[in-house]
Amino acid sequence: MTLTLGLDIGSTTTKAALVAVGDDVTVLRVRRTPTPTDAAELIAAVAAVSRGCLDGAGEPVAAVGIASMAESGVAVGADGGALTPLLRWDRRVDRAHLDALLARFPRLPGDTGVPATTKPAAVALTALRAERPDIFAAMRHWAGVADLVAHALCGERATDHTLAARTMMAGADGEDWDPDLLDAVGIDRSVLPQLRSPGEAVSTTTATARVFGLPAGVPVHVAGHDHAVGAWAVGARRPGAVADSLGTAEAVVRVTDAAATERAVAEGISVGRTVDGAARTILGGSPACGALLAWWDEEHPQDEIFARLNELSGDAWATSGSVVLPYPSGRQCPSPDPAARVRVLGHDGGTGGRARALLQSLVLHARWMRETADALAGSPATGITVLGSLAERIPAWPRLIAAGGVPTSLAAAGEPVAAGAALLAAVRQGAASAALTLSGATVAPADAPDLDNAYRRFLTTVLTQGDR
C-alpha cells in the first residue's frame, strides 16, 4: 500500500484526506476546517488539516494532490505577500468590467468554453486594474487557490489546465495563456502561474513544507478544479458518465467526446476537459444547493429545514404539488437569469410540505442541468454518480436523482474531492493503477410515480410564471 495526501480548498470548507492505494482505495483519515479569505490564514488552515491527517501516519506519503474551487485567487506582491484578500468566484464585480472585455473579444465565451459572467480571473484582474490601480501596479503574481498552496509547499508557481481554462485567459483546453487576452487585461505572462500538462508535477516539497507535516522531496500535483477532480475520482471518465456534486454549490459534470460549445456558454454552461485530459466535460453549476438550504434555514428557522429533510424517505415519495424556484441570487444555468429569486408557488401542507417541495425542486433543477448537458453532448447520460456531504445527510436526495431514469450510484468515500486529489497524485506518480476509482454503491430509485409530471410542471413554472 502507498500513502498519498489530498487537499481540497472549497468555498466553505477546506479538507485533507490521507489515502492508502493498492488494489483499491482506502480513505484512512479526513480533517476539515472553515476556508478563510485571508491568504496567510488560508495557508495556515491547509497546513493544520494536513498535519491532522499526517500525524502518526507511520510512513511518509508518496505524493500530494491539491484540488480547489476555481475562479478564486489573490494578487501577490514582490515580497511574496498577498496584496488582496481571496477574490472569490462569488464576489460582487461591476459587470462593466466584463462588458469591456467582451467589447474587445466578443467571441471570448465561445473560444474559452466559459460563460460570460463576472467570475473568471480575467474579469477580476480587469476590475482590479480599474478600481485599485495601486495594487494592480504592485502585483507581481496572480495565484489561484490551488496554486497558492502549491507554492507554499514547493516554492513553484504552477497550475493545471482545468483551473487555467476557467480564468478565461487560457482557452478551452487550458494549454497556454492567450497573449491577446493578457494584453487586454494588462499583465505579463510572468504574472500568471506556469501551466503543467496532465500528469506533470508542480515540483517537490521544500523544507518549508514541514509546517504541513511533510518532509522535503515529496512530489506535489495541482489536481485541478474541485468539481472536475470529484467527477474523475468517482469514475465519471468516459463519454456519457455524469457526476452530480452536492455541496455549498451544485455541479453537474457530464463527460463527452464532443460538445456544442457556443450553445453551452449561451446556456450558462462551461465546456472543458477532464483532469486527465482524455475527454471533454460539460459543467452546469448552481450556487443554490447547500447555500440555499442555509439561506432557507436563516429565513425560515421555524421550518428546521435540515431536520425535516433528513426525515424524508424515498420509499414512498409523496410528490409535492408545489414548486420552489430555488434561486436566492439568480439562476446561473440553464437559461441564465440574474434576476431570478426564490419563490414558492402552491401550498403543500406546512413545514414538512415546504421541505419536501424545496428538495424536490432542487433535484428537478439538477435534472434540467443534466438533460441540457445531454442535449449539448448529443447523447443521453449512461450513469450518474452522486457525491458530497448533502447526499449522505439527506438520504432521499440521491434516491430522487435516481428516480429521473438514469442508473445512479452514490460515492461511498468520505470527502471524495480531497480523496480524489490524493488518488490522482498516486496515479500520476505511478503508484496506483489509472483504472482505480473511489468506491460507490448503487442507489435504489425513490418510489415517486408522479415525479416526471412534477418535472414538467417545474420547467413550465420556471420558464413562464417564474418571471411574472
**pTM (2 d.p.):** 0.95
pLDDT reading at 348 higher than 70 = no
* Rounded average pLDDT over 57-75: 95
pLDDT at position 45, please?
98
* Rounded average pLDDT over 312-334: 91
**Confidence band, pLDDT 50/70/90 cuts, at residue 467:** very low
Other CB atoms within 10 Å distance of the CB of residue 154: 24
Are the C-beta atoms of residues 366 and 286 closer than 8 Å to each other?
A: yes
Are the C-beta atoms of residues 120 and 142 closer than 8 Å to each other?
A: no
Edge-to-edge order in the sheet of strand 280-286: 270-273, 280-286, 250-256, 241-246, 383-387, 408-411, 440-442
231 exposed, middle or buried (CB, 10 Å; 0-12, 13-18, 19+)? Answer: buried
**Confidence band, pLDDT 50/70/90 cuts, at residue 1:** confident
pLDDT reading at 42 higher than 70 = yes
Beta bridge partners of 55: none
pLDDT reading at 465 higher than 80 = no
**Confidence band, pLDDT 50/70/90 cuts, at residue 193:** very high
| Among 185, 244, 299, residue whose Cα is nearest residue 411 | 244
Cβ contacts of 346-351, under 8 Å, gap ≥ 24 = 346/320, 346/321, 346/322, 347/322, 348/320, 348/321, 348/322, 351/300, 351/302, 351/303, 351/304, 351/308
Assigned C-alpha cell, 268: 450558462
- Measured in degrees and rounded to the nearest 5, phi and psi for residue 157 equal -105, 105
* Rounded average pLDDT over 196-204: 96
| DSSP per-residue codes, 27-73 | EEEEEEEE--SSHHHHHHHHHHHHHHHHTT-SS--S-EEEEE-SS-E
Q: Position of cell 494549454? A: 175
Angstrom distances, CA of residue 417 to CA of 65, 164, 368: 10, 18, 24
Q: How far apart are CA 22 and CA 25, in angstroms?
A: 7
* Rounded average pLDDT over 53-58: 90
Mean pLDDT, rounded, of the chain? 94
Q: 166-175 b/e with 16+ CB inside 10 Å = b?
A: bbbbbbbbbe
Beta bridge partners of 225: 68
pLDDT for 76-87, tens place per residue? 999 999 999 999
Q: 318-346 b/e with 16+ CB inside 10 Å = b?
A: ebbbbbbbbbbeebbbbebbeebebeebe
The counts of H helices and E strands in the chain are: 17, 19
Assigned C-alpha cell, 327: 434561486
